[in-house]
Amino acid sequence: MPNSSSASALARALVDRRRFLSDAATGLSSIALLSLLGRDPLPTAAGATIDPARPYAARPPHFPAPAKNVVVIFCAGGVSQLETWDYKPELLKRDGQRLEGGPAVTFQGPAGELAKPQYPFRPRGQSGKMVSDLIPHLAELTDEFAFIHSLTSKSNTHGPAENFLSTGSVLDGFPSVGAWVTYALGSENQNLPSYVAIPDPRGVPQNGSNNWGPGFLPAAFQGTPLSAKDPVRHLQPYGVSASADEAARGLLTRMNQRHLEANLQEHKLAARIASYELAARMQLSVPEVTDLSSEPEHILKLYGADDSANPLKAAFARNCILTRRLIERGVRFVQLFNGAYASGGELNWDGHDKLKEQYDKHAAILDQPAAGLIRDLKQRGLLEETLVVWCTEFGRMPMFQKGAYGRDHNPDGFTCWLTGAGVRPGVSHGATDELGLKAVEQVHPLYDLNATLLHLLGLDHEQVTIQHNGIQRRLTDVEGHVIRELLA
């Protein structure tokens, strides 16, 4: 053995007694920690342990639930409540006036004068609720909806506000509501993803995949993006026959199973195998569900998918038909986007400069297809067990922006609605002030909307949690209350 003077610093460290004892203690504690972590492969959700080899298996809710599935229609860009669902006759009276004591500067610059709703409102259905002519097809369904007119957000910027609506946090990296739901409940269909996100034909929303990401939940629970225009790609291997592909998958399954039996604590391996097996089943199921050629003419007409004069409307209508087909086949959570990324209001509902001109286009794309989806779910009996949520990340200001014909962002008071399983129809809950500037009655942060969504699925939002960085995390953070006035 060389003497200490000729040994390297690394060699001296290796033979140093104190260093050896310190490293041994640290190593043993690490082994103990790994042993503890290995006992429970994944946390529990809704009282059921999640098997990494079967992460999509259906799990029971906390209590009996009216809803089994969810459709979220997410209108990106911040839809103006004042042009759609929240009638403010005082704005008609004060059109063109300055708002005394109002904000001199809003999100994008100086505030202009108060501006009346850009579309007429009229009473609808048995309830007589005033709804805008902008959305005549959806307006016909007013009696089916439960409105929340007093929602608030934590951000007036599109990306963080989308995050807050979709994940309960303005920051990136948190699980989406669909990921939380599939983590808690799994799926009733083992041949399709439990959670599907359908981007708008014009593109993805401002914060993209954060809206359907798994955050710090296991990756198995992230949403799968696909649409009628862009189904899942590369499902079939190129240049390989179906029989050869099936034989190769059979061999791979046997090899994986043998390796897993020899390494029972390899939970990531089990999850990866489950993912590959789902992908294999999707080779058969996804082409079938995304093939709309079997849909009859009267269904295409109901949704507006036959509208040759408006190809964007027809494309969004096909996404709505795809949504119904996914729900029919037991997909747990479908997130349907209307509107894409920030573009001066050209590709989404962000109406800063020329609100009416842009809303004419956006409403024509949304209205008939979304109404057709709700009608179709109802006529097939699917609405009895499907919750439909219409939402947007924030609302708009009652005044126009100075020198423009559009409204700035408003996170202090806006509208969303629910319909379907477990929802009390014909309800209008909460209110903004007489001009629609701020929520003033029964004010609800978006945490409450998500708590209510989970409740309708039979989940206690305080109990759907996961340990992350020493904190017991949940969708509603340390807040959230179920809006019981909306429940049937």
The pLDDT value recorded for residue 288 is: 87
Identity of residue 172: D
Stretch 458-462: mean pLDDT: 97
- The neighbouring-strand residues paired with 444 are 151
DSSP summary character for residue 275: H
List pLDDT tens digits, range 109-148. 899 999 999 999 999 999 999 999 999 999 999 999 999 9
Q: In angstroms, rounded to a whole number, what is the distance separating the alpha carbons of residues 108 and 402? A: 10
Is the model's pLDDT at 302 over the cut of 60? yes
The pLDDT value recorded for residue 52 is: 74
3-class secondary-structure state, position 247:
helix
Is the model's pLDDT at 315 over the cut of 90? yes
The pLDDT value recorded for residue 269 is: 65
Residue-wise DSSP of 170-204: SSTTPPPHHHHHHHHH--S-SSS-SEEEE-BTTB-
Question: Helical H runs in 263-390?
Answer: 267-290, 297-303, 311-328, 355-379
The set of residues, in sequence order, having a beta carbon less than 8 Å from that of 183 and lying 6+ positions away, is 45, 50, 175, 217, 218, 221, 464, 466
- The neighbouring-strand residues paired with 184 are none
Kindly indicate the confidence band of residue 4, based on its pLDDT and cuts at 50, 70 and 90: very low
Stretch 164-184: mean pLDDT: 97
Is the model's pLDDT at 7 over the cut of 70? no
Which of the residue ranges 4-8, 65-69, 175-179, 472-476 would you say has the lowest mean pLDDT?
4-8
Is the model's pLDDT at 340 over the cut of 90? yes
Q: In angstroms, rounded to a whole number, what is the distance separating the alpha carbons of residues 178 and 223? A: 7
Share of the chain above pLDDT 70, in %: 85
The mean predicted confidence, pLDDT, of the chain is 88
For 70, other C-beta atoms within 10 Å of its C-beta total 25
The pLDDT value recorded for residue 173 is: 95
C-beta of residue 436 within 8 angstroms of C-beta of residue 175: no
The residue to which tokens 């041949």 are assigned: 191
Instruction: Using CB atoms within 10 Å of the CB of residue 45, give its burial: 0 to 12 exposed, 13 to 18 middle, 19+ buried.
Output: buried
The pLDDT value recorded for residue 266 is: 56
Kindly indicate the confidence band of residue 42, based on its pLDDT and cuts at 50, 70 and 90: low
C-beta of residue 55 within 8 angstroms of C-beta of residue 271: yes
List pLDDT tens digits, range 267-285. 566 666 776 677 777 777 8
For 105, other C-beta atoms within 10 Å of its C-beta total 10
Which of the residue ranges 191-200, 273-282, 300-309 would you say has the lowest mean pLDDT?
273-282
Is the model's pLDDT at 15 over the cut of 70? no
The set of residues, in sequence order, having a beta carbon less than 8 Å from that of 180 and lying 6+ positions away, is 217, 221, 454, 464, 474, 475
The pLDDT value recorded for residue 50 is: 84
Q: Among candidates 227, 382, 242, 372, which has minimal Cα distance to 289? A: 227
Is the model's pLDDT at 234 over the cut of 80? no
Is the model's pLDDT at 87 over the cut of 70? yes
List pLDDT tens digits, range 139-156. 999 999 999 999 999 999
Kindly indicate the confidence band of residue 36, based on its pLDDT and cuts at 50, 70 and 90: very low
Is the model's pLDDT at 408 over the cut of 90? yes
Kindly indicate the confidence band of residue 250, based on its pLDDT and cuts at 50, 70 and 90: confident
CA dihedral for 388, 394, 400, 405, sign (positive or negative): negative
The pLDDT value recorded for residue 251 is: 79
- The larger pLDDT score, comparing residue 125 to residue 13, is at 125
First to last CA, the chain: 83
Share of the chain above pLDDT 90, in %: 73
The pLDDT value recorded for residue 61 is: 95
For 252, other C-beta atoms within 10 Å of its C-beta total 14
The set of residues, in sequence order, having a beta carbon less than 8 Å from that of 175 and lying 6+ positions away, is 167, 183, 213, 214, 215, 216, 217, 221, 475
Q: In angstroms, rounded to a whole number, what is the distance separating the alpha carbons of residues 293 and 431? A: 44
Is the model's pLDDT at 414 over the cut of 90? yes
Kindly indicate the confidence band of residue 255, based on its pLDDT and cuts at 50, 70 and 90: confident
The residue to which tokens 């439960």 are assigned: 146
Strands 414-420 and 146-152: antiparallel
CA dihedral for 354, 355, 360, 363, sign (positive or negative): positive
Instruction: Using CB atoms within 10 Å of the CB of residue 26, give its burial: 0 to 12 exposed, 13 to 18 middle, 19+ buried.
Output: exposed
Is the model's pLDDT at 88 over the cut of 80? yes
Is the model's pLDDT at 21 over the cut of 70? no
- The larger pLDDT score, comparing residue 158 to residue 52, is at 158
The pLDDT value recorded for residue 264 is: 58
Question: Helical H runs in 109-241?
Answer: 136-139, 158-167, 177-185
**Tokens at residue 290, please?**
């995304």
Which of the residue ranges 32-36, 210-214, 308-312 would you say has the lowest mean pLDDT?
32-36
The pLDDT value recorded for residue 237 is: 62
Kindly indicate the confidence band of residue 233, based on its pLDDT and cuts at 50, 70 and 90: low
Q: Kindly report the pTM of this predicted structure.
A: 0.86
Dihedral over alpha carbons 104, 108, 112, 113 (to 10 degrees) = -100
DSSP summary character for residue 483: -
Is the model's pLDDT at 212 over the cut of 80? yes
